[in-house]
Structure 1
Amino acid sequence: MLIIGIAGGTGSGKTSVARSIMERMGDANAVLISQDSYYLDHSELSMEQRERINYDHPNAFDNELLLQHLSRLRDGETVEIPVYDFTVHARSSETETVEPKQIVIVEGLHVLSDDHLRSGLDIKVFVDTDADIRILRRVVRDIQERGRTLQSVVDQYLMTVKPMHDAFIEPSKKYADIIIPEGAENQIGIRMLTTLTERYRKHGKL
């Protein structure tokens, strides 16, 4: 099994890069796991308390559970991944069944920020996109998909998103084996990564 970790700032295009690889590999050969699914559950808190949590800090994620799931997938086991509801800042009662595949892609903000999580990755990728493009994508996504207001998106960006990016995400770029500027727009970078993945799929080695 080959596990690829794809990190990058909010709105960098890491999900689009991951999906591009998935399209080329096919569902029969690869599976995509989002680190967002592993936000710690705070359903015991009030909505007001949940809204004050810093969701852009590495400690907001249950990386221990993610690592356990990656280890079980390597062992050929099926896992039940949490489903996170961003509209209420809590985990859903549902889970997603994920079966082991030859290629496992893990994408998320802090995939490269945690040294233990990095140790479970075979290829480490960082998607590097200009900050102005990233914030515009974040605004559109959070308003259209997560039910946020423009003011709440702006406040969160200034209070936690940018400071956490500067403190944790940008420095994690040094751990990347491959850096892909401009995300899914960089077709050459995606082809290079896909070629490595396809070589592993066919020959069992990079």
Structure 2
Amino acid sequence: MLTLMEEVLLIALNEEKGNFSFTASTCIDYCLTGAILMELEHLKRIRVDKKTVEVSDARPLNNRRLELALHQMDSSKRHRPPDYWISRLRSTLKGLRKGILEEMADKALLREEEQQTFIFFSSTRYPVRDERARKDILDRIHRVLLRREDPDRQTAKLIGLLYAGGILPYLVDKGDRKEAKKRAKEVTKDDILANAVKKAVQATYSNPAFY
């Protein structure tokens, strides 16, 4: 099973070009740090409410990214709200997006390709290799948003992150966007961390068109 972070990236990437749209590129790192907090909450390592994130179990984890995030929160002298930690971890977990993309290429989910941009410069892009995995994720999202099926935990969290990052509207046809947004609001209304991601994004990029 893919991690929540891997699913976010697999869906946010342009399938053929292997890069991110402007909207996805500006917001994706907030979605990734939101996914980290969601995973720590699921593992019962943190307790979350609208005002604070509190570490409940600081023992080492078999995951370096989760462990680094947990250590930062545990070392804090003050309890901070969820949106603070989403923005903070976005700044301190250097190379988060790049590292996960490289791991996904190693798993054959993506292809890693060097692209020449200027005479002396190149960039790396990650076209989707496992098209079936991406399609399966999209199918899960569409069943919840457009057919109003009940989501499992991971799909509900994924929808929350994609909605918070302004990416969700681009995953459905134009005529379905109003219904998809309405359903996404229903699914995520009580999700403290998804709404904290949304708050962190809005604080940085005041774009009401996202929502």
Greater fraction of residues in helix:
2
TM-score, length of structure 1 as denominator length: 0.31
